[in-house]
Structure 1
Amino acid sequence: MERVNTVDSPAPSPAARRWRWQRPGKRGQRWLALLLFLFAALLLLIALWDWNWFKGPVERAVQAKTGRALHINGDLDVDLGRTTTIRADRITFANADWAKTPQMASADRVEIALRVWPLLRGQVHIPEVRLTRPDLLLETGPGKDTPGNWDFLGPSTGNPPQLQRLRIDDGRLQFLDAAGRTDVLVALNSGKPRNEDSAPPLLVKGKGRWKGNAFSLDGNTESPLELTNSDHPFRIHLDGRAGGTHAIASGTLTNPFALRVFNLQLMLSGQDMEDLFPLIGVAMPSTPPYRLNGRLKRDNDIWRYEDFTGTAGDSDLGGTAQIDVGGARPFLKADLVSKRLDFDDLAGFIGAPPRTGAGETANAEQKAKAAALAARARILPDTPYNLTKLRAMDADVRWKAQRINSPALPLDDMDAHLKLDAGLLRLDPLNFGVAGGDIRSTIRMDARKNTISTQLKASLRNIQLGKLMPDSKLAEQASGGVSGDVDLAGSGNSVAAMLGSSDGNVAVGIGRGHVGNLIMELAGLDVAESLKFLFTGDKQIPLRCAFGDFGVDNGVMTSRALAFDTSDTLIVGSGTVDLRQEQLDLLLRPRPKDISILALRSPLRIGGSFKDPSFRPDFKALGLRGAIAVTLATITPPAALLATLETGPGKDTNCGGRYAK
């Protein structure tokens, strides 16, 4: 055998080796051809595949997950790629089995863009969802323990899908709450996005009824998907009306799902703050028309309306209010300030309307109520308090007024602190500066039972008599400090019922001062002396003291001591004031300390009603002296003067009492 010398054989070049490695053999060529054929067949299959074959499996899978029937009544199509697009036409989704309307949602077309590679890591990335003519019905359950029809997925598990953009073309959303008398229909459309990658804003416009009130909504917001994006503020502008209440929310929210920063300006106005209770569950007293503007913030369950300013009726109102909705009842805490408070704007706290005359602010309902009240024979408010409102929330409200406008009373300022806890209301304190002095009071109303029980304690200190009626010419002739105490307890669901059933004590007194002689002569009906003062001027008479002490039993005030003592005249009185019937029955007996000619002095009877009191002399007491005067006049006219001589039997009273200081 011949040996082959391989040492001298040249080695293959690197290029030849690479070619030999890359060049497929016949077997490799067959595999490559097979792969190319399968790929071409797959492309052809995809091009010709009818994706509607998957409609049945998809519908069954959704029903198994949600318990609701899903129907794809049109075509199902898929565009494969790194981002795969799934389209489905004429979609319907069933409602809850308790609902009267069988269909909860529908859409002419649903398009879902889905990234494929994140699916391998168990993540769902959805760049965009586009809905064409979607129609969604959201409604609350028929019972307290029945969830709304939107609760069908159960507790979520795993990573939630990440949705980047939501586009809505000609959408419709209806919210229905039969028990809450709410039915709102809103049109939804996506606006133009700020840039290609951002979610488009949402344009909203709707109307219907909210809590039984006509409701409308108009405005725009960023896409709801942007609520989770903390990189830029969430813009919002919504204009809503419900009945007479109007709210405009405009501004930005920063990551509101984190419940930290709200930068939202809220303008709120309406005909009556009482209308807010059925809308948002916050119980407020009746007020004249109002307008407020402030900044809304939220921290978990606490909503704050900060640094708001505005008006309520003819009063300005400002401060900060917050509502905590995390407890069994909403809790309102507020610090309010009024630089100028119109006193009649507080009338709603006692169930009365504000003044409705020229220059006064009131809504149409309050004007009608004021007209009806003016036509009544009584003046104490008999509008019942709403027990549901008193029990629906808790409150801690402080309100200070720097200046008070009150034509009827010379009020200076106010300091009120209201606390409400499960139907127990306390005003402690409720203080007013009055005519150089003050009225300090506390009120306790227990509305935890069907009939409200009320306690009132008030003290009057150093109220200046001459300032009580600053527009009265007679009052300018008087001075002296008025003090007193009121301690009443009653039951009833209105102010009239509470006072009409009250028991307790009322005592008031005037310390040393002076009064005009004209006042005293008019009070004593001394005709000659009164005419003289009217035409020639008045003189001041020192006031020693005045006091009235009444016991109150079942709404009837009965005098225990009643006197007005000056150096000129002593007036003593007796009688009753019926708070239930609003009737007066007081008898004042003047006892002059001087001798007066033509003194038709007789007891003065104060009667009539609170609304229409009467002041008249008691002619029965004049009868004897009048008869004597007529008889003497038949003899000689000057002799008739003898019958009207007043010898002045009045004596000084003991002014060492509590209030005679």
Structure 2
Amino acid sequence: MRLCNLWPGQARADRILTWTAGCLAAVVALALLGLALVDWNLARGPIGGFASARLHRTVVLDGPLRVHLWSLKPWATAENIRIGDPAWAGPDQTATVQRLTVQIELLSLLRGQIVLLRLEADQPVIRLRRDALGRATWDFSGGVAPKRPFRMPPIRHFQISDGRLQIVDAARHLRFDGAISAAERPGEPNRRFEMAGDGRLNGEPFHLALTGGPLLNVSADHPYPFEAHVRAGATQVDALGVVPKPFDMARFSLDLSAQGPDLADLYDLTRVALPNTPPYRLTGHLERRDRLYAITGLAGRVGDSDLAGQLSVETGRARPLLKADLVSRSLDFDDLATLFGGAPARGRGETVSAAQAAVGRRMAAERRLLPDTTLNVEKIRSLDAEVTFRADSIHAPNLPLRSGAVRIGLDRGLLNVDPLSLQLAQGRVAGSAQLDARGAVPVTTVDLRLTGARLEQLIPIQGRPLTGAVLSRVRLSGEGDSVHRAAAHAHGEILVVSPGGEIREAFAELLGVNVTRGLGLLWSKDQGVVPIRCAVADFRAVNGQLSANQIVFDTGPVLATGSGRIDLDRERIDFRIQGRSKQPRLVRALAPITVRGSILSPKIGVETGKVVAQGGISVLLAAVATPLAAVLPFLDPGLAKDAACGALIAEAQGRGAPVR
């Protein structure tokens, strides 16, 4: 009975739902019918106003507007579209389109996904500008940084007819004018997407050619292939890649190859400040994942050195962050000269660009060791970096280097090289360096220790007349925007210590200008050696002048002391070494040894003033006394004493020399 009583109420509810659904359907049908019959040209103003508010610039629809909504695949066509520049750029146009047709898939839209079934642009002209302050006409954010990169929705049918792209970028010193096309023609094979044009990049000729697969029946589930070829002066970049989900340009991958005279030239293309290098040829696999660009499988040559590893650049920060882990199996040491504004060796078989060869010729003509190329501090301040580099072997004909490793950190203009390690055939150089480019004038600081090295390795003389341990500590700091200018204002100290060793006796005697015994040992080819008790050289640097506080070279038969200085600005040296015998010697000339001239090619000589005076005294004594008296000025009673080697070495150790 109760069950029978429920049925009438249920029937009334069903009738109410049926009437409600019918009414809603009628309203929707009437709305759609109204939209289908409405004159959409009356909506051009509101649509332009809405687009202007979203794009933060004036958008005008000057031509007819046709809309077809009564479909699961609605479409719209607008003609004579003008998109203005932002207010700061003046009254020019960012883009004009003769006709634009857009068709979407309604069912995908109801699922929250935008799928463009058709996007056709006739005679689009896009003019992009960026000023020296970094303001860009393609920035539609209105000053609010987007949370994620722009992603284009999937496009099934994409057609561009007679398009042009013009770019004037003051920040990159780029001017470009190119043609764009991707059109389908009846009875012809589907044409690929093509964009090609020419211009100037940083004063050099620039050419870009970008091609892709046909833009017909593009599927979001199938990667879209493309290739790009860039020529900027002598720099050449070629790439072959895919967009995994067309056209989500926040994710793509490509195999690339690049070659050119200097990696630093890629700055205007990439906005990543890379160091100066010799000519390079590199390959690798690049992937973009949102704001991260990662290169794996990096391989090739830079100058006469091989290079391999991986690196990444994270954008979307105040400054891009470069991370790299690099290794060279065989490093040609002179290739590193370009890092400091110098030039690699220019001999036969060396790899060097024309500009670097010119720098090398100029430095050779000026007899300079320290390069004077101005450091671009703005590039250093534009990037953060975390880099490790390892050289498994080092080719350096004039230095006993074997391998090396370094870790580099760059944060807001402060570059730290710590630790730095160089392995010698015997011994090791370890320490750190810093370049502070945060202020008006960069400040360079180095702190290096030499341990476990050998004199015979650092001063390779045939026959090994000089052997023994040697260690050193270098602490220098100077202001300047080049290596030379920083050295010319350097302050600090240099300590060199040899706690013991051996020297060929003939050379020890000649160090004291003991003519008879020294020459006699040389002529007899005597290979006898005497001990080096100790050797200490202590320099203080003030405003680029390295002055010797003391120079002591104590051997068994001779104690030599010296004085002098190194002018880092003029790159000249002036030393005077006076040897004194510890034993009586006959026919000894009181002539200090001198080392003078440029750092690159000093000349060793004998100070003749005292020799002439010594000879004059001899002549005078012969005239007023006996002929035997003429020999007296050349006699040395041998009153020199041993140096206090223990105290000297202890003092050097207390001041930071790595003495054990």
- Provide TM-score, normalisation by structure 1: 0.79
- Asked if 1:319 is matched to 2:318, the reply is no
The Cα shift of 1:397 comes to 0.9
Provide the residue aligned with 2:194 in structure 1: 203
Query: What secondary structure, in the 3-state scheme, does the structure 2 residue paired with 1:279 have?
Result: helix
Distance 1:121 1:543, change over 3 A: closer
Task: Tell me which of 446, 450, 462 is aligned to 1:456.
Answer: 446
Q: How does 1:354-373 map to 2 (within 5 A)?
A: 354-373=344-363
TM alignment of 1:280-299, pairs within 5 A? 280-299=270-289
In 1, the alpha carbon distance for the partners of 2:250 and 2:155 equals 23
Contact 1:104–1:137 (Cα < 8 Å) also in 2: yes
Q: SS of the counterpart of 2:345?
A: coil
Alignment-derived partner of residue 404 in structure 1: 394
| SS of equivalent to 1:367 | helix
Q: Deviations over 1:74-105 (max 9, x none)?
A: x9899x9997887778x453533755675554
Q: Would the alpha carbon gap of residues 311 and 621 (structure 1) be closer, same or farther in structure 2, given more than 3 Å must change?
A: same
Q: Deviations 1:293-333 (Å, cap 9, x if unpaired)?
A: 11112232221111201111111111111111132111111
Seen in structure 2, the aligned counterparts of structure 1 residues 115 and 481 have a Cα distance that, compared at 3 Å, is: closer
**Number of matched pairs:** 598
Separation (CA, whole Å) in 1 of partners of 2:421 and 2:272: 25
Residue 542 of structure 1 corresponds to 531
1:346-390 CA distance string (max 9 Å, x none): 123333222222222211111111112122254333333222122
Describe how 1:29-428 pairs up with structure 2 within 5 A. Answer: 57=42, 59-60=44-45, 62-66=47-51, 67-72=58-63, 91=80, 93=82, 95-96=84-85, 98=87, 102-106=92-96, 127-140=117-130, 147-148=137-138, 163-178=155-170, 180-190=172-182, 201-210=192-201, 212-222=203-213, 229-255=219-245, 262-376=252-366, 378-428=368-418
Do 1:199 and 1:226's aligned partners in 2 also have CA atoms closer than 8 Å?
A: no
Q: 1:519 to 1:297 in 2, by over 3 A?
A: farther
Contact kept, 8 Å, 1:138 with 1:149, in 2: the verdict is no
User: Is 1:606 equivalent to 2:595 in the alignment?
Assistant: yes
Partner residue, 2:546: 557
Task: Say if 1:166 and 1:199, in contact at 8 Å, map to a contact too.
Answer: no
Equivalent position SS for 1:333:
strand
- The 1-side partners of 2:109 and 2:501 are apart by 94
Question: Is 1:482 paired with 2:470?
Answer: yes
1:547–1:318 distance in 2 versus 1, CA, 3 Å: same
Q: Does 1:445 align with 2:435?
A: yes
SS in 1 for 2:157: strand
* Other-structure match for 2:55: none
Alignment of 1:467 with 2:457, yes or no, is yes
Q: Within 1, Cα distance between the matches of 2:376 and 2:405?
A: 25
SS in structure 2 opposite 1:164?
coil
Separation of aligned partners in 2, 1:149 and 1:210: 21
Alignment partners' CA distance in 2, 1:321 and 1:296:
10
Equivalents in 1 of 2:100, 2:557: separation in Å? 98
Counterparts of 1:161 and 1:480, CA distance in 2: 73
How far 1:274 moved relative to its partner? Answer: 1.6
1:619 paired with 2:608, answer yes
1:170 aligned counterpart, secondary structure: strand
Report the Cα distance in structure 1 between the residues aligned to 2:274 and 2:567, rounded to whole angstroms. Answer: 32
User: C-alpha separation between the residues in 1 aligned to 2:630 and 2:133?
Assistant: 89
Check whether the contact 1:96–1:149 (CA below 8 A) recurs between aligned residues. no
Give me the whole-angstrom Cα distance separating, in 1, the residues matched to 2:562 and 2:394.
34
Distance in 2 of aligned mates of 1:261 and 1:63:
31
Q: In the aligned structure 2, how far is the partner of 1:447 from the partner of 1:504?
A: 20
Shift in Å, 1:450: 0.7
Q: 1:505 to 1:100 in 2, by over 3 A?
A: closer
Q: Shift in Å at residue 400 of structure 1?
A: 1.0
Question: Which residue number corresponds to residue 558 of structure 2?
Answer: 569
Indicate the residue corresponding to 1:44 in structure 2: none
Quote how far apart the aligned CAs of 1:142 are.
Answer: 8.8
Alpha-carbon distance between aligned partners in 2 of 1:347 and 1:616, rounded to the nearest angstrom:
31
Higher-Rg member (1/2): 1
Segment drifting more, 255-264 vs 536-545: 255-264
Amino acid at match of 1:564: F
8 Å CA contact 1:141, 1:147 repeated in 2: no
Letter of the 1:331 counterpart = L
Mapping for residues 429-444 of structure 1, pairs under 5 Å: 429-444=419-434
**Larger deviation, residues 113-122 vs 250-259:** 113-122
Q: 1:510 aligns with which of 498, 510, 516?
A: 498
Q: Superposition RMSD on alpha carbons, in Å?
A: 4.0
The letter of the residue matching 2:269 is: L
Structure 1 pair 361–326 and aligned structure 2 pair: CA distance change class (3 A): same
Q: Distance in 1 between matches of 2:479 and 2:131?
A: 40
Partner SS for 2:578: strand
- Code of the residue aligned with 1:189 in structure 2: it is S
Residues in 2 aligned to 1:116 and 1:258: alpha-carbon distance in whole angstroms: 20
What are the superposed Cα offsets for residues 539-576 of structure 1, whole Å, 9 maximum, x if unpaired? Answer: 13322221112233333333333111222322111233
Closer, same or farther: CA 411–192 of 1 in aligned 2, 3 Å: farther
TM-fit CA distance, 1:289: 0.8
Letter in 2 for 1:566: T
- Secondary structure (helix, strand or coil) at the match of 1:480 reads strand
The alignment partner of 1:409 has SS state of coil
Aligned to 1:16: none
Q: Does structure 1 conserve the Cα–Cα contact (< 8 Å) formed by 2:312 and 2:323?
A: yes
Aligned residue for 1:69, secondary structure, equals strand
- In structure 2, what is the equivalent of residue 24 of structure 1? none
TM-score by length of 2: 0.79
How far the C-alpha of 1:240 sits from its partner, in A, is: 0.9
Q: Compare 430-439 and 598-607 and name the one that shifted more.
A: 598-607
Which residue does the alignment assign to 1:649?
A: 639
SS at match of 2:59: coil
Distance 1:411 1:123, change over 3 A: closer
Given that 1:222 and 1:234 are in contact with CA atoms closer than 8 Å, whether structure 2 keeps it comes out as yes
The structure-2 alpha-carbon separation of the partners of 1:632 and 1:97, relative to structure 1 and needing over 3 Å to count, comes to closer
More displaced 10-residue stretch of structure 1: 454-463 or 96-105: 96-105
> How many angstroms does 1:624 deviate by?
3.1
Structure 2 runs not aligned, ≥5 long: 1-36, 52-57, 147-151, 653-658
How has the CA–CA distance of structure 1 residues 282 and 77 changed in structure 2, closer, same or farther, with 3 Å as cutoff?
closer
Could you give the per-residue CA deviations for residues 516-561 of structure 1, whole angstroms, max 9, x where no partner exists? 2343345444455555455542413322221112233333333333
Q: Give me the whole-angstrom Cα distance separating, in 1, the residues matched to 2:109 and 2:244.
A: 31
